Structures are given as C-alpha cells and as structure tokens.
A and B are shown apart, each in its own frame.
Chain A
Amino acid sequence: MNPLIPLFVMIPLAGAFLIMITGRFAVWFGRYLTTLILTVLAAFSIFSLAVTGENTAVYKVGGWEPLNGIPIGIHMVMDGFSVIVLCIINIVGVLAALYSIPYIKRYTSENYYYSLFCLMIGGMNGVVLSGDIFNIFVFLEVSAISSYALVAFGVEKNELEASFKYQVLGALASFLILLGIALIYWKTKTLNIADIREVFSTGYDRTYYLFVQILLLGGFGLKAAMIPFHAWLPDAHSSAPSPISAMLSGVFIKAVGIYVIIRLFFNMFIVTENISILITVMGTLSMAVGVFLAIGQWDIKRLLAYHSISQMGYVILSTGIGMILIARGKSPEIAALAIAGGLFHLVNHAAFKGLLFFNAGAIEYSTGTRDLQEMGGLAGSMPATHATSFIASMSISGIPPFNGFFSKLIIIIAAIMAGFYLLAALAVVVSIITLASFLKFQRYAFYNKPENKDDKKNKEVPLPMVFSMVIMGILCILLSLLAFPGIRETILEPAINILTDPLKYSSLITGS
C-alpha cells in the first residue's frame, strides 16, 4: 500500500514535464500520455479505495522517522476520507482527458493544455494526500496557478477577464490561508495536522484559534466559492474550456475547498459550537442564494456554475449540522448520518456536475453557442447528449432512481432528526427550484424547436466525447448504490469514522 502514495503526485508532475519537452517534436504525444497517466492513476485510486478501508497509510517523505513521538519531515496520509476524494479526482480526470482529445483541437498549443492539466491533477492529489498544513498550501498553489492558466486558455476578452478576477481573489485566499498557517505555527511550533491536534488537546486558546479558524474559513471558503465569496466562480467556470469547467466544478472546488475545510475543522481544530454554526449558516446561504442566482441565467455554463454553488451548499450545510451535533456532544449517530449525507452528495455532485459540463461542452461543440435562447430541437440530432443530460438533470434535482435523490434524502432526514426543521424545508424548496431550472435547460436545449432552423447541420459529437458522457451517466445511476447497506459500510463508513471520532486521526498517525 505505502509505495503507491507518492506516485499520485509524482506521476502527473513528471508527465507535465515530459509533455513540455516532447511537445515541440510530437504534438500527439501529450494527449495520449495524459490519458495514459490518468488511467493509471484512476486504477491506483480504485485499488487504494479497495484496500484502505479502516487502515490509515502514512508515507514519510525522505524517510524521516518521528523523533520522541514528534513527526519531523513531511507526511503523506491516505485514510478513508482522502481516498474517496482521490477517486473523484482521478476518475473525473481520466474522463475529462478523454473528452479533451477531440474538444481541444480547436485551440492552438495543445501540449500546453495537457501539461497544465497534468499539473492541476498533481496539485489536487497532493492537497488530498498531504498530512501537513504548509504542504497543503504548496500543492493548492500548484493546482490553483495551473487552473488560472487553464481558465485563460482561450485568450479572448472574456477568458482573460475571468482569469484576472479569479487570480486576484485566489491570491487573496492564498494570503489568508498562509496567514492562518503562520499563526498556527507561531503558537504550536509544528505543521503536521495530527501533531497540531495533539498540541491542541493539551491546551486550546479559544479566542486566538477562533481568529485563525475564521482566516482559514475565509481562505478555503474563497477557494470553494461559498456564498459571500462566490463572485469569481460563475465567470471562471463558464469561461474555461468545457473539460476544464467539468474539472473545476466537479473536482477542484471540492479537493482544495470542501475537502480541506472538512479535514481541518474536524481533524485538526477542536470542534466548537460557534464556528460550526458559522459553517452551517454559510452552507445554507450558499444553497439558497446560489439557486436563486442560477434561475435567471440563459448561458448554459453560467447556469451550471451557479448550481455548483448551490449544491456545494448542501454539502457544507450537512457537514455543518454534523459539526454542531459533535460540538454539543449528543446523538453521535445523527451526526454520522449528516456527515454521510454530505460526503455522499460530494461524490454524487462530481458525477452529475461533471456530466452536465460535458453536455454543455458537447452542445457548444456542435452548435457553437452557449445561449439557451439560440438553441433548440437538439433531441433528435444529438441523442447521446440528450439522454445523458436528462440523467444528469434528474440527478441534480433529486428525482428518485438517480443518485442525487438518495444523498439529498439523507441530508434532509439528518436535518429533521437533528431538529433543524427549517433547514430541511429549505433544502426541499431549493431542490424544487433546481428541478425547475433544469427543466428549463432541457426544454430550451433539446425540445422547443425554433422555426427557421434545419437540424441537419447539428451532428452528434465525436466518439471519445460520447464515451466520457455515457460513462458519467452510468456512474450517476450506479452511485445511488452507495446509499444501500453493504456498500455504504465499506466505502463511506471509514471516512465518517475518521471524521466523527475527534482523536482517531491524530492517534493513528502519531501512534499515541
């Protein structure tokens, strides 16, 4: 198990370097190497998911063993929670790489695109596997800088403006995170998450760490586009090339935003009630405001981007409810249920939002427009896109046989059991508005045929794009199996145990 951990970071970084060198001589090299790398990494991550379970694997970079029980050097940690996010990153990654092969041909300098893509994957894998807060910052910057470049990849007016906005806000977020890390190091004199937790359990200055928590929540909240910090997301996600939009919306905001927030606030800080209420309020705001901003949009990718804010609100809301229950120290099984709902929705969102962005890209590829009012009648000419986007739309709005229904159901049940009736009702209302918004998308894109338009010129997209969309559509249906007993225990349960038991993570790593 252990030897696989550093490969998740090393292979994509080495791949990015190789593509830049060989891209001058062989342009085709990048696209096949990227697909190969991502396939290998996806296989590794599925293998890791199968073997990790309750055991936590630690890789010590450079072989620096702990001295007197205090970790020195950099630790890379793979536990039940990080392995789930790792699977999301690499599986959506391989499908996005396949999808890029025909899609990206319209841009020049393909090899730069694939090189940046590999860098972004390497950075995200690094964030997820890192057991050290400064290392999280370094890998976060690696993936963030490559995503800035990928957002601006079209180098037209819109792309550059979106990238500039994204970079300024992203840089502010990085500074807040770095300030938070510096303040933590000042007091605890260590950077290892598990070791910081050990220091916290000996003495915890609530007011000092409340300031640090707010700094980190601001920083990672900006990266995750929670509602007061959401301004960059619709611009950046709608301007990027479609496979990158799918990566940014489906994976990036989770791996560098939500994952780190959950990891730090559950496993590093001691859960306190005031910060958990703040997180729940931010989640509720994201959920409700995001969907209202989405409903008036006519640009497909902007509409999907606002729905990302809203769906991430569900995840934050649900884990926030779990945090409140843990902080109050009562009904741990309801807290576990709430966190399970959040994690399950995190996985599902990667599947259906990735698929929806693939669909938006396919429509744009075929018709050349992103405006819902200009398209229509695509149901006949693009059957695969139509079928998969129907699955994804039903998933995101929570219609029964699809995965989104089960995760939203768990979240709503957990909210009711915890006594937050208003939040449960709000979650239902937001889900209905989401359904309305996606019915609009279905109607304007695929039915509602405008009069003087011949549908002969709109063709179905090339095979690799169809393949990616169909696989994602199958995943959308299969993931609902995670809700059922048997599968849930093996995949979601280890992650929930790591998060709900306050001292488990640190004791597994420092060994005390």
Chain B
Amino acid sequence: MIVYCLCFVLFLTGLYGVLTRRNLVKIAISLSLMECSLFLFLALIGYTEGGIAPIVDPADPVKNYVDPLPQALVLTAIVIGLATTAMLMAVIIRLYRKYGTFDIREIKELRG
C-alpha cells in the first residue's frame, strides 16, 4: 500500500509545482512529474507479488502472471506524454522569443 501512497505523493508534488512555480520551464517539469507518477501507478496496478512475464506456458497455464494490459497502457501513455511535452516546450521556446523571459508574471496580455 505504501507504494501507491508514494505515487500519490509524487502526483501531488507535481501539482504543487504547477500551482506555485513562476518559471514556464519549471511548470513543464512539474507536469512531467505528475505524468510519471501516473505511469508508475498504472504499472503498479498490473503487478502481482512474485508474478512472472505473461508468456503462457502450455504445460502449466495457471501460473502467477503479471497483468500485461497496464503495461500496454503505460507505453501508449508515455508516447502521448512525449507529444504533449514536445508541444509544450515548443510553445515555451516561442514565448521566450517573443517576451524574452520565462517569468509567467511578465506574460499577461490576455485579461478579463
């Protein structure tokens, strides 16, 4: 149980970073941290104590296998996360070129 709680703590750490940091790059890093905590959580869901890789042995089909589906989900989610992070960094680089700063307090054209 402690591992799941640590995962949630990591998630909240990332959320704290997103809410309090003023630097655009640090916000992006905090988002990646939250993402990683979710990947860990998904991988943990499929794990069973003493489980082996899910390659079915015809001689003995009822072994203790780990659940392979969450692993597939994690792989998909990692690819999506890569795309999200790349997009976010591209926009941050463009913002830096326009404003000359990473400080979120200086970037406030849109109000109301």
Which A residues contact B (CB, under 8 angstroms)?
134, 138, 141, 145, 148-149, 152, 155-158, 160-165, 167-168, 171-172, 174-175, 178-179, 182, 185-186, 189, 191, 235, 239, 296-297, 302
- Please determine whether B73 and A141 come into contact, CB atoms closer than 8 angstroms: no
A-B contact pairs, 10 of them (CB 8 A): A141-B84, A148-B87, A157-B109, A158-B109, A161-B110, A163-B91, A168-B27, A175-B35, A179-B41, A297-B112
Pick from B34, B80, B88, B94: contact of A155, CB below 8 A.
B94
The listed residue with most B CB atoms (<10 A of its CB), out of A171, A185, A235, is A171
- Please determine whether B110 and A162 come into contact, CB atoms closer than 8 angstroms: yes
- Please determine whether B45 and A168 come into contact, CB atoms closer than 8 angstroms: no
Chain B residues with Cβ under 8 A from A162's Cβ? Answer: 110
Residues 16-35 of B, flagged 1 when their CB comes within 8 A of A and 0 if not, give 00100000100100010011
- Please determine whether A149 and B87 come into contact, CB atoms closer than 8 angstroms: yes
Complex CA gap A22/B107 in Å reads: 37
- The smallest C-beta distance from A371 to any residue of chain B, in angstroms, reads 13
Chain B residues with Cβ under 8 A from A163's Cβ? Answer: 91
- The smallest C-beta distance from A437 to any residue of chain B, in angstroms, reads 15
Chain B residues with Cβ under 8 A from A156's Cβ? Answer: 98
Complex CA gap A155/B45 in Å reads: 41
Complex CA gap A405/B73 in Å reads: 45
Chain A residues with Cβ under 8 A from B77's Cβ? Answer: 178
Chain B residue at minimum C-beta to C-beta distance from A296? B112
* Known contacts A160-B98, A162-B110; is-contact A141 B91 (Cβ 8 Å): no
* Known contacts A145-B84, A172-B18, A302-B112; is-contact A182 B41 (Cβ 8 Å): yes
Question: How many residues of chain B have a CB within 8 Å of chain A?
Answer: 34
Pick from A134, A160, A167: contact of B84, CB below 8 A.
A167
Chain A residues with Cβ under 8 A from B95's Cβ? Answer: 160-161, 164
Complex CA gap A163/B88 in Å reads: 9
Pick from B27, B88, B109, B112: contact of A161, CB below 8 A.
B109
Complex CA gap A160/B107 in Å reads: 10
- The smallest C-beta distance from A383 to any residue of chain B, in angstroms, reads 32
- The smallest C-beta distance from B29 to any residue of chain A, in angstroms, reads 12
Pick from B11, B45, B91: contact of A164, CB below 8 A.
B91
- Please determine whether B11 and A141 come into contact, CB atoms closer than 8 angstroms: no
- The smallest C-beta distance from A239 to any residue of chain B, in angstroms, reads 8
- The smallest C-beta distance from A417 to any residue of chain B, in angstroms, reads 38
- Please determine whether A141 and B92 come into contact, CB atoms closer than 8 angstroms: no
Complex CA gap A173/B14 in Å reads: 14
- Please determine whether A175 and B109 come into contact, CB atoms closer than 8 angstroms: no
Chain B residue at minimum C-beta to C-beta distance from A72? B69
Chain A residues with Cβ under 8 A from B69's Cβ? Answer: 185, 191
Q: A174-B84, A182-B38 are in contact. List 12 more A-B contacts (CB 8 A).
A: A148-B87, A157-B98, A157-B99, A164-B92, A168-B18, A168-B31, A171-B31, A178-B77, A179-B38, A185-B70, A189-B67, A235-B110
Complex CA gap A160/B97 in Å reads: 11
Chain A residues with Cβ under 8 A from B45's Cβ? Answer: 182, 185-186
Chain A residues with Cβ under 8 A from B112's Cβ? Answer: 296-297, 302
The 10 closest A-B pairs by CB, nearest first: A141-B80, A235-B110, A186-B45, A160-B95, A171-B31, A182-B42, A157-B98, A157-B109, A178-B38, A160-B94
The listed residue with most A CB atoms (<10 A of its CB), out of B18, B67, B73, is B73
Complex CA gap A179/B39 in Å reads: 9
- Please determine whether A164 and B87 come into contact, CB atoms closer than 8 angstroms: no
